[in-house]
Amino acid sequence: MDTATANKQTDTPQKIAVIGAGFTGLTTALRLAQAGHDVTLMERAENLGGLASGFTLDSGQPLERAYHFTYKTDTENQKLAKELGVADKLKFHPSSIGTFYDGKVYPLMTPIDLLKFPGLTFIQKIRTGVVALYLQRVRNWQKLTKITAMDWLTKYNGEAATKVIWEPLLKGKFSEEHYRDVTMAWLWGRIHVRQVSKDKGEVVEKLGYFDGSWSVLVDGYEKKLRELGVTIKTSTTLEEINYDAKGQKPYVVVKGKKHSFDRIVTTTPSNVLARLTANCSQMTKKYADNLNSIPYLDAVLMVFTSKQKLSDYYWHQFSDKNAPFLVLLDLTNLTQDADETYDGNHVYYIGAYPAKGEELFKQSDKQITADWYDGVRKMFPEFDESQVQEAHVFKYIDAQHIVTIGYEELIPDYQTPIPGVYLSNFTQIFPEDRGINFAIREGEKVANIVLDDIK
């Protein structure tokens, strides 16, 4: 839906609730309000933005709780930034990737880097390069939905190279419990989006980041929503979503009180919607069972700042089965503004996706910090904890869904069985992985569905 269409005032304004203020919820609320509807945006957390919600360092600089960047091909993201008047803050920087293997960090960005990488034989390196090149050129990804990534890679890249290059990445992303379940279509989507984001002739990709953090875009949304008269309610926990058959309206329950709407768009995780609608007679068992069948992982992230520069790379990944976490990032190696923006500090992110019930998610922030400092020290023996200025730990439930074989059959419909209640979340993004650009696209999509239904 273009902005001109969205700005047309409707003849029949409706009262609409949007549940969840990640980028899908923010976009949905924006488009429905632009179409002239009375929109209430409800968010459980204190801040807008979902995983990209902001916080402020002790030294005063804004950051997002979970690391985010954007590709040059993320057109939805860039269009919204322009519409909200913050496009000048979005800057693209050359990325850099280091791979931790056998106690050292090696560059792994170019074919030359691959040839120099010590973890594979020459034949294994050539085979790995050919496989990567093939996956970059695949367009018929549908055939990859029928086989797991581990099985496909073992068959075509070989068992040894798969164990060194691919298995640690899949295991870090999807945990020891689930990494063998992930379909090859998911991995193809990750490789494909990175390849097409490069300009012709570019060897190293460029990644986008907002001067002032992703809070710049979130604040742009909030300003526009308030101008349009959207009611924004943060720190609001829903207890139930149900349907008044007599009044023919859906409603939400907050602190024991009913709030009726003409329509409700929920952007919660699928299992959360199943729980909230458990007492609704209009919700079918088939749809609810489908919502509950999609497995999720949680996320644990730590941000710390330090006077110490540990490497020259932005993104540190692992070719080590004993990796202490999924990824280590030095944001200031991407943006190159440690001195100007962060008072001479380097900003580091550590992330992991534990399976449900894993000990990591249960641990205290103090224990996680101590363990992850030990992990950093294994990578960089020179790491000096005394130079750390501050550290923050954040935890998110249901942060990543697991894309298994036949996943496309599990994708829930946007229109739920409950009249006037819709669902839009990142489980409906396929074969791409979740991300801000696709979250915005989903918000546009569900807003159009709602507006078409109103017509």
The pLDDT score that the predictor gives to residue 196 is 67
Q: Does 191 score more than 90 pLDDT?
A: no
Residue-wise pLDDT for 144-172, tens only, equals 999 999 999 999 999 999 999 999 889 88
Residue 82 predicted with pLDDT over 50: yes
Contact 376, 339 (CB under 8 A): no
Return the DSSP state at 118: T
Q: DSSP code of 404? A: B
Encode 201-260 in three state secondary structure. Answer: CCCCCEEEEECCCCHHHHHHHHHHHHHCCCEEECCCCCCEEEEECCCCEEEEEECCEEEE
| 255 φψ region: left (φ > 0), alpha (ψ -120 to 50), beta (else) | left
Q: What is the mean pLDDT of residues 176-200?
A: 85
Half-sphere exposure of 420 (CA within 13 A, CB side): 20
231 pLDDT more than 60: yes
Mean pLDDT score across all residues of the chain: 92
Tell me the residue type at 182. Answer: V
- Give the helix/strand (H/E) hosting 40: strand 38-42
C-alpha neighbours within 13 Å on the C-beta side of residue 206: 12
Quote the tokens at residue 329: 């990032």
The number of beta carbons lying within 10 Å of the beta carbon of residue 253 is 15
Reported as half-sphere exposure (CB side, CA atoms, 13 A), residue 376 has a value of 26
Higher-confidence position of 2 and 429:
429
Residue with tokens 């269409």: 5
Q: When comparing pLDDT for 135 and 279, which is higher? A: 279
Task: State the Cα–Cα distance between residues 392 and 369, nearest whole angstrom.
Answer: 8
Query: The sheet that has 263-266: what strands, in order across it?
Result: 231-233, 38-42, 15-19, 263-266, 421-423
**Residue 318: is its pLDDT beyond 90?**
no
pTM (predicted TM-score): 0.93
Rounded Cα distance, 25 and 23, in Å:
5
DSSP 411: P
Give residue 3's pLDDT band: very low, low, confident or very high (50, 70, 90).
very low
Which three-class secondary structure state does DSSP give residue 453? helix
Per DSSP, 154 falls in state: H
List of domains in the chain? 3-60+214-295+409-454 (3.50.50.60), 110-196 (no CATH), 296-401 (3.90.660.20)
For 234, the token pair is 């943060």
Give the helix, strand, coil percentages of the chain, each rounded to 5: 40, 25, 35
Query: Which pLDDT score, from 0 to 100, does residue 109 have?
Result: 87
pLDDT digits (tens, 9 = 90+) for 391-424: 999 999 999 999 999 999 999 999 999 999 999 9
Q: What is the CA radius of gyration of the chain?
A: 23
